[in-house]
């Protein structure tokens, strides 16, 4: 059977492997990457040498004679030179290749300053430069040494290619290939000072995995994860409008004129409602940058989504499909138990009436849900809890008498404004959970509690359960109680009620305000936005499926 691994290991990935085995796996095998201040600074330092300049010299043993029988002129330096060795299984992009007297010297550009006067380079940098030198030697070049240039001090430092360094480099190559052949990443580092500056810390979740797994690491975890993502959703809901791309910006066209624009790098996903066109140029740009595009009906039903090639981390999706096929009632039970506990908390905090009996019943139902391993029983427990909860939900609404009455949960179609608002907010929540599942490398359609159906994002519905009261119900309650939504923002037709265009925009604004608000994570004790918390939960579920942590723990507030 042919190996699923690439034939050639990039020297840059070898550097990361020596720095952190898990980082190299996530970036090379799973193709996960995100920028931070350090990687952006590194890109700026490389801005000149990333542009190809001058052709590198031919190796001495090649036919370097020109047509006049004279030796070909040797260029003094060339940049962005790609070299590879099938024998070594390595490939490298050399920042600067200098030639002199028949020999070449690879020069690696680094941001920051040297480690110390005596030992200017760290081990990952030494291994990367050694790999470059070995590739060049295997191609027939004479390489007396390698060099590193540090941008902050503007100094060069020589690296001698010793037998000991060669041995360490080749050992790292073998270990990296062994790691890549595994179906899950190596364990994260424990309380390492490397983690805070790593751009993938929000994907790796090193301290979180240890706290929920083997109990190692600091507790509560260090503050590593940014509270809010740098990008945010883009909504398009005006009938007949068109989204297109111009340069690096997303342009909204209404009635033939530009109505708004936003930088594509500031967009986390695109949500399209009703008859809004998306140009092929924008769709292609979204696919290339990993930005999902999701299509809704005008009423808010999620009909489908599109994105570029799926992540390379196939192992987590294989385990997800296996869990869905064989059944994972222990995970499903925690989804439902988390939802019931959050429903109970919302009632306890905001109910104006006496609901002590209902609170006690919900507490018992949450315990029963966590203990059961039967999906049929779990459905019954969830249904009972929902009836008890929604029977009290109307007491949370402080609107003027007769404006927003609520007796029971109904849908398809919603028969009153409150149910119409809840249905729309739940659709927005499923949209965000779908995006979080895609970011974590999961298949949104394959659930472990909700059964997969045609076009049904079953896993997104699973993960959304614990967040329905935290995000959907809370947003509806606040939007009604503070007068943000009024009766004129709804329209009744054919026995159903839906939001008007203006009402939908108000609901989206209220929802986004909730998603960007922060909570103190009940387990990890740091502050994070609700949108970030969705992605954390999706990544923790992926960690459960791959065996990094033993059990899924829902996010529940007190």
CA distance 387 to 361: 11
**CA dihedral sign, ordered 491, 493, 495, 500:** negative
Domain 314-546 annotated CATH 1.20.120.920:
yes
Tokens 């052709």 belong to which residue? 55
**292 with 306: CB under 8 angstroms?**
yes
**71 with 111: CB under 8 angstroms?**
no
Domains in the chain: boundaries = 9-181, 195-225, 232-306, 314-546
Question: What is the architecture, at CATH level 2, of domain 9-181?
Answer: Alpha-Beta Complex (3.90)
Distance (Å) of CA 467 to CA 25, 228, 339, 533:
31, 17, 7, 10
Question: What is the architecture, at CATH level 2, of domain 232-306?
Answer: Ribosomal Protein L15; Chain: K; domain 2 (3.100)
pTM > 0.85: no
Domain 9-181 identical in fold to domain 232-306:
no
- The per-residue pLDDT string of the chain (558 residues; one tens digit each, 9 = 90 and over) reads 344 566 789 999 999 999 999 998 888 887 776 654 455 555 545 555 556 666 677 777 654 444 444 444 555 778 888 899 999 999 999 888 988 878 899 999 888 888 888 888 999 999 999 999 999 999 999 999 999 988 888 899 999 999 999 999 999 999 999 988 887 788 888 888 888 778 788 788 888 888 887 666 555 666 555 445 677 888 888 888 899 988 889 988 888 888 888 898 888 888 888 888 989 999 898 888 888 898 888 777 778 788 877 666 677 888 888 888 888 889 999 999 999 999 999 988 888 667 888 889 999 999 999 998 888 899 999 999 999 998 888 888 887 655 778 888 888 888 888 888 999 999 999 999 998 898 888 988 888 888 876 567 889 999 999 999 999 999 999 998 888 888 888 888 877 888 888 888 899 999 999 998 988 888 888 888 899 999 999 999 988 988 888 889 999 987
In the DSSP assignment, the letter for residue 111 is S
């Amino acid at each position: 059977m042919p190996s699923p691994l690439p034939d050639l290991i990039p020297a840059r990935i070898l550097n990361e492997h020596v720095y952190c085995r898990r980082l190299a796996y996530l970036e090379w095998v799973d193709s996960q990457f995100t920028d931070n201040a350090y990687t952006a600074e590194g890109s700026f330092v490389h801005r000149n040498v990333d542009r190809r300049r001058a052709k590198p010299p031919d190796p001495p043993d090649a036919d370097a004679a020109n047509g006049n029988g004279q030796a070909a002129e040797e260029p003094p330096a060339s940049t962005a030179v790609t070299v590879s060795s099938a024998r070594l299984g390595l490939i490298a992009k050399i920042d600067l290749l200098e030639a002199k007297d028949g020999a070449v010297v690879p020069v690696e550009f680094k941001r920051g300053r040297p480690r110390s006067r005596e030992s200017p380079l760290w081990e990952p940098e030494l291994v990367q430069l050694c790999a470059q030198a070995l590739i060049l030697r295997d191609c027939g070049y004479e390489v007396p040494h390698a060099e590193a240039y540090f941008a902050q001090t503007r100094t060069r430092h020589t690296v001698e290619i010793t037998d000991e360094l060669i041995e360490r480099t080749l050992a790292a190559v073998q270990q990296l290939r062994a790691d890549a052949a595994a179906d899950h990443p190596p364990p994260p580092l424990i309380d390492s000072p490397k983690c805070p500056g790593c751009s993938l810390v929000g994907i790796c979740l090193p301290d979180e995995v240890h706290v929920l797994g083997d109990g190692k690491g600091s507790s509560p975890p260090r503050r590593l994860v940014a509270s809010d993502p740098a990008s945010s959703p883009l909504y398009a809901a005006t009938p007949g409008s068109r989204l297109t791309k111009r340069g690096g910006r997303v342009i909204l066209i209404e009635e033939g004129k530009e109505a708004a624009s936003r930088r594509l790098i500031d967009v986390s996903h695109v949500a399209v409602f009703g008859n809004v066109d998306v140009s092929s140029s924008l769709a292609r740009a979204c696919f290339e940058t990993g930005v999902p595009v999701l299509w809704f009906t005008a009423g808010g039903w999620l009909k489908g989504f599109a994105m570029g090639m799926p992540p390379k981390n196939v192992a987590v999706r294989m385990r997800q499909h296996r869990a869905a096929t064989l059944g994972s009632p222990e995970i499903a039970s925690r989804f439902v138990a988390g939802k019931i506990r959050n429903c109970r908390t919302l009632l306890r905090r905001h109910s104006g009436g006496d609901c002590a009996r209902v609170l006690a019943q919900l507490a018992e139902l949450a315990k029963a849900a966590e203990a059961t391993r039967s999906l049929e029983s779990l459905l019954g427990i969830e249904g009972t809890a929902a009836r008890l909860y929604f029977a009290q939900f109307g007491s949370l609404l402080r609107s003027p008498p007769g404006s927003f009455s609520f007796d029971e949960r109904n849908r398809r179609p919603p028969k009153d404004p409150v149910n119409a608002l809840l249905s729309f907010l739940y659709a927005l929540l499923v949209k965000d959970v779908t995006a979080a599942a895609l970011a974590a490398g999961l298949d949104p359609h394959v659930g472990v509690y909700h059964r997969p159906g045609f076009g049904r994002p079953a896993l997104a519905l699973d993960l959304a359960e614990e967040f329905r009261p935290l995000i959907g119900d809370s947003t509806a309650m606040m939007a009604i109680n503070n007068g943000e939504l009024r009766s004129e923002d709804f329209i009744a037709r054919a026995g159903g009620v839906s939001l008007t265009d203006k009402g939908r925009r108000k609901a989206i604004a209220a929802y986004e305000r909730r998603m960007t608000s922060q909570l103190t994570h009940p387990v990890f004790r740091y502050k994070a936005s609700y949108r970030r918390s969705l992605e954390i939960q999706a990544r923790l579920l992926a960690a459960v499926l791959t065996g990094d942590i033993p059990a899924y723990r829902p996010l529940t507030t007190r």
